[in-house]
Structure 1
Amino acid sequence: MNPHTEQEKEYLGIYDDPEEILRCKGRLGKSKLSLETKEPILLPARSHLTCLIIYETHLLNNHSSPLLTLSIIRKQFWIPSGRRISEKSIHKCCLSCRRYTAKPFNLPPFPQFPIDRVEPSPPFTAVGLDFCGPLYIKTPFLVPKQKKTTQFDVKKYWITLWVCLATRAISLDLIPDLTLDSFSLSFRGQTAKHGIPKTIYCDNAPTFIATKSFLSNHAQISPPKWHFRTPGAAWKGGHYERLVALIKGHLKRTLAGGAIPRTFLFHEVSTILLEIELVINSRPITADSANPSDPRPLCPLDFLKPCGHNITLQILPSSEEKAEDPDYTPFPLSNQQSLSILWEKLSNRTKAFWSRWKRDYILSLRERHKKLNSINQRWPITNELVIVYNESTPRSNWSLAVIKKIFYTEDNFPNTAQIKFLNGNVSLRSVHHLYPLETADEIKQK
């Protein structure tokens, strides 16, 4: 029975040849092409036979592209919606090509901001931690048997970056290597300046993992709570990775010093880092107003130094404010009641400051919303065969793995997967770094 409608017959010029084979008439009747090409055999788009013919042609022509495969097939056959059917059939049947055409699973919608970013807290209570570098720094040393002769050796140094989640302030430190001993000294220096952080967000650097283990076993007080992001998922640490780019931009321009870069001494680079830290902490984190009477935008330095940079802190109202403040009490304060009044005024000013932080900064985070484009039409499932993204190698060398477990977000979207490689190693990866090698039909057959 002919499944085609009268409209399709008229549009495609379908007719039965003497052998009762459906063929299509086109407008090439006067050409010198063969009859098979001018009036090709009609293949139904959703037929398994059509899929096999496409796959065979694809293999016979050394894994030709869908467009080239279709061009060869059209010398003898006609497939409605041929480009789409050709691409779909090759992806379905050819596992070798699927490795190169597979698309990663979609990223889940961006989750809610962690509470450490949207609630007021002292600076560096919750921090993002990362390494930056290396930098090449000159280290002086004395030449043996020549007491007054000093030469320089170039060594690698790294930058330890601490980012406050609430205030967006940064703190930089220079360390000679990425060992636990060197980072421990940097950690002690950070706690001496800004106190012990309660929460630390970082990547899976071996130094950070070793530090967590060391603090858990030897800390005399409650150690920080560590949050390690999924390996390779740099966007999950975007609140501090973005500042790495800012630091690198300042360093490249500052250390170059002109057309010919030069190598600096340790104390020179340390001073430059302090200046870069001040510059970045002076950047505005709220929008600037065109009205000169509006207050200036907030910057991280306001949280670290309420008086600002090179500005004297005025704890008491200025002379201009005396007439406007009916509750102004002149100095000296000589009794407990007066000190209590001053304390209450300072507390009210602090509350007003954090209210502005909530109104201007926190609400501005709502504007930074990005719509994710849909890449894959389905989500990963357990026991599915995938290839794992690796930016340092071509796709042909990406490792095969099987999804063993899937971790979901608070909104019940797949976020991270536990995978097992062919060599038996088990690791975590973002679902966006997994490329499925099995089609939906193959998954259903399981």
Structure 2
Amino acid sequence: MGNLPKQRLQADYPFANTAVDYAGPILIANKKGRGSQLKKAYIAIFVCMAVRAVHIELVTDLTSQGYMAMLNRLICRRGKPASITSDNAKCFIGTFNELPKFLKQNSNNIINEAAKIQIEFKFSPPYSPHFNGLAEASVKSVKHHLKRVLSMTHLDYEEMYTVLVQIEAILNSRPITPISSDPSDLVALTPAHFLIGRTLTMLPAPQVDNAPINTLSRYKRVQALKAHFWNRYYKEYISALQIRSKWHTNRGQLQLGQMVLIKDDRLPPNRWLLGRITAVYPGTDGINRVADVLSTSGTLRRAYNRLCPLPMTLDQDTPAPRGPAC
């Protein structure tokens, strides 16, 4: 495996080096209520290559001017990037796909316009999406779940933009690594810390879990879509963190003081239950399968299948104290 690009390792302000990918088209209504017509819109997902923060934009005008307006919104809210890396337009194939066609025809214009404001615009090599893997992974998360939740209803521009911004907040709230190795510190570093200096919070949402989407008011409908996305993304993120090899030895097992994500399907959007392991309990075969975890709710005893290590866990060399066999 090759070394990471230098943009992934440079200490710089968020979105100084940015990757971008696109999704769409999606259909949005031109107005609320009866008589509305559907029109196409596209989603641009910008990802900071250093801290993996996400910025999502909704675009309805597929022109060079519309693209530069979208880029201007990014600059006004996140600062001017030094470089932007995008998929190579030549690798798109499809007669009826307007987005690839637009990128093919306007890639030179986009590069020239970006150069005027001193932004280096890069295209990854043809047929090499792994060169833009950060943005590809974020687009996959958004597209996979958004496609399913938006099949329930059609939103207008304002409602769709609200849903996308809430999805952006969910992606930027995911825990990455502990802030410190202090066993009493239960705060994890998130992409939001680099953007606003603290964790993101959301307004309390009405309970709409069991109500049919088409019976809800417009506001509750947007909140229901956010809740559906959260439920799907939360389970996917947990599953990605829980990939482990077979338990033949204790190698790679959770350690004393290690911060973990505690799986809890009842959590509201943007809430992640974190804790630190205080003790482990081996099975009859000597393999650790249960742990005590200190969280904001007190000390919880959970099986290992309910505990997930963070993506960038700090090294823990202290062996975990064992309780009696379970």
Matches within 5 A, 1:234-249: 234-249=129-144
Pick from 211, 216, 222 the counterpart of residue 112 of structure 2: 216
Cα separation, 2, equivalents of 1:254 and 1:245: 14
For residue 297 of structure 1, report the CA deviation from its aligned partner.
Answer: 2.1
Answer yes or no: is the 8 Å Cα contact 1:250–1:276 preserved in 2: no
CA distance in 2: counterparts of 1:118 and 1:232, whole angstroms:
25
Equivalent residue, structure 2, for 1:382: none
Q: Residues 153-174 of structure 1, C-alpha deviation per residue, up to 9 Å, x if partnerless?
A: 1111110111000110011111
CA-CA distance at 1:363 after TM superposition? 8.2
Q: Is the 8 A contact 1:184 1:211 kept in 2?
A: no
Residue 297 of structure 1 corresponds to: 188
Residues 252 and 213 (structure 1), Cα distance of their counterparts in 2 relative to 1, 3 Å cut = closer
Q: 1:194 offset after TM fit, Å?
A: 1.0
**Structure 2: segments with no counterpart, 5+ residues:** 90-100, 203-310, 316-326
Q: CA contact under 8 A between 2:30 and 2:157: conserved in structure 1? A: yes
The CA distance in 2 between the partners of 1:201 and 1:218, in whole Å, is 12
Determine if the alignment matches structure 1 residue 156 to structure 2 residue 40: yes
Name the residue aligned to 2:67: 183
Counterpart in 2 of 1:232? 127
Deviation at 1:302, TM superposition (A): 0.7
Cα separation, 2, equivalents of 1:120 and 1:208: 31
In the alignment, the residues of structure 1 paired with residue 180 and residue 14 of structure 2 have an alpha-carbon distance, to the nearest angstrom, of 25
TM-score calculated relative to the size of structure 1: 0.39
Matched, 1:201 2:85: yes
Give me the whole-angstrom Cα distance separating, in 2, the residues matched to 1:163 and 1:150.
37
Letter in 2 for 1:189: R
- The match for 2:224 is none
In the alignment, residue 112 of structure 2 is paired with which amino acid?
S
Matches within 5 A, 1:280-319: 280-286=171-177, 293-310=184-201
2: CA distance between counterparts of 1:111 and 1:208?
29
Q: Does 1:132 align with 2:23?
A: yes
In the alignment, the residues of structure 1 paired with residue 195 and residue 113 of structure 2 have an alpha-carbon distance, to the nearest angstrom, of 32
Distance 1:152 1:188, change over 3 A: same
1:172 aligned to 36, 40, 56, which one?
Answer: 56
Counterpart amino acid of residue 202 in structure 1: S
Distance in 2 between residues matched to 1:283 and 1:230, nearest whole Å: 30
The answer to whether the 8 A contact 1:167-1:303 is kept is yes
Q: Which amino acid aligns with 2:85?
A: Y
Cα distance in structure 2, aligned partners of 1:193 and 1:177: 20
Q: Give CA-to-partner distance per residue, 1:331-388, whole Å, 9 cap, x none.
A: xxxxxxxxxxxxxxxxxxxxxxxxxxxxx95989xxxxxxxxxxxxxxxxxxxxxxxx
Q: Is the 8 A contact 2:114 2:121 kept in 1?
A: no
167, 180, 203: which one aligns with 1:276? 167
Structure 2 CA distance for aligned equivalents of residues 182 and 241 of structure 1? 22
CA shift, 1:177, in A, is 4.3
Contact 1:130/1:162, CA 8 A, preserved across alignment = yes
The answer on whether the counterparts of 2:85 and 2:123 sit within 8 Å (CA) in structure 1 is yes
**Uncovered stretches (5+) of structure 1, i.e. residues with no partner:** 1-109, 142-148, 312-359, 365-446
Q: Aligned residues, how many?
A: 195
Pairing 1:18-167 to 2, within 5 Å after superposition: 110-140=1-31, 151-167=35-51
Compared with structure 1, are the counterparts of its residues 215 and 252 closer, same or farther at alpha carbon in structure 2 (3 Å cutoff)? closer
Q: Find the residue that maps to 2:31 and give its secondary structure.
A: strand
CA distance in structure 2 between the aligned counterparts of 1:195 and 1:134, rounded to whole angstroms: 27
Quick one: which amino acid aligns to residue 188 of structure 1?
N
Distance 1:194 1:163 in 2: 11
Aligned to 1:266: 157
* C-alpha displacement of 1:211: 5.1
How far did residue 180 of structure 1 move?
1.4
* C-alpha displacement of 1:204: 1.8
**Counterpart contact for 2:22–2:43, Cα < 8 Å:** yes
Alignment RMSD (CA, Å): 3.1
Residues 218 and 244 (structure 1 numbering): CA distance in 2 closer, same or farther, change over 3 Å? closer
Listed one character per residue, the Cα deviations across residues 265-294 of structure 1 (whole Å, up to 9, x for unaligned) are 221111000100000000112269998613
The answer (yes or no) to whether the contact 1:129–1:160 under 8 Å persists in 2 is yes
1: CA distance, partners of 2:6 / 2:56: 24
Cα deviation, residue 219, structure 1: 5.2
| TM-score relative to the length of structure 2 | 0.53
Structure 1 vs Structure 2: percent identity of aligned residues?
Answer: 30
List per-residue Cα deviations over 1:17-71 (Å, max 9, x = no partner): xxxxxxxxxxxxxxxxxxxxxxxxxxxxxxxxxxxxxxxxxxxxxxxxxxxxxxx
Question: Could you tell me how far apart the structure 1 residues matched to 2:35 and 2:5 are?
Answer: 50
User: Measured at CA, do residues 220 and 128 of structure 1 come closer, stay the same or move farther in structure 2, by a change above 3 Å?
Assistant: closer
CA distance in 1, matches of 2:124, 2:314: 26
**CA–CA distance in 2 between the matches of 1:264 and 1:218?**
32
Matched, 1:251 2:146: yes
